[in-house]
Amino acid sequence: MAIVRCEDCGRPHGLKYGYTHFHPVATLVGSESVSRKIFCGSQSCGHRALILWLTDEEEKTYLCGQRSFRLSNCVAHVQVT
């Protein structure tokens, strides 16, 4: 599952999966206005999420052309550029 973070919080650490690949978040699939309501996944942060972090497996699918990813603990998908 992909994870989103703000620019300040950066790469997620200490999680079950390693998130080593990042991409800017373009939009939330299905509703442009809702994309403004996606916040950083870091526990103590309330900034808007601008970066999508992917695992190695997700990065492989990105390189094969997939641009829509389901967010961890969320019923949403984000579109990346």
Domain that holds residue 8: 3-80
**Who has greater pLDDT, 76 or 39?**
39
> Which pLDDT does position 51 carry in this prediction?
87
DSSP characters for 9-76? Answer: T-S--SSSS---EEEEEEEETT-TGGGGG-B--STT--SBP-EEEE-HHHHHHHHTT--EEEBTTSS-
Confidence of residue 71 (pLDDT cuts 50, 70, 90): confident
Over residues 9-54, the pLDDT tens digits come to 988 888 888 899 998 876 555 545 444 567 887 878 888 888 889 9
> Which pLDDT does position 75 carry in this prediction?
53
**Who has greater pLDDT, 77 or 41?**
41
Nearby residues of 67 by Cβ (< 8 Å), 6 or more positions away: 79, 80, 81
Q: What is the largest CA-CA distance in the chain?
A: 34
Number of separate domains in the chain: 1
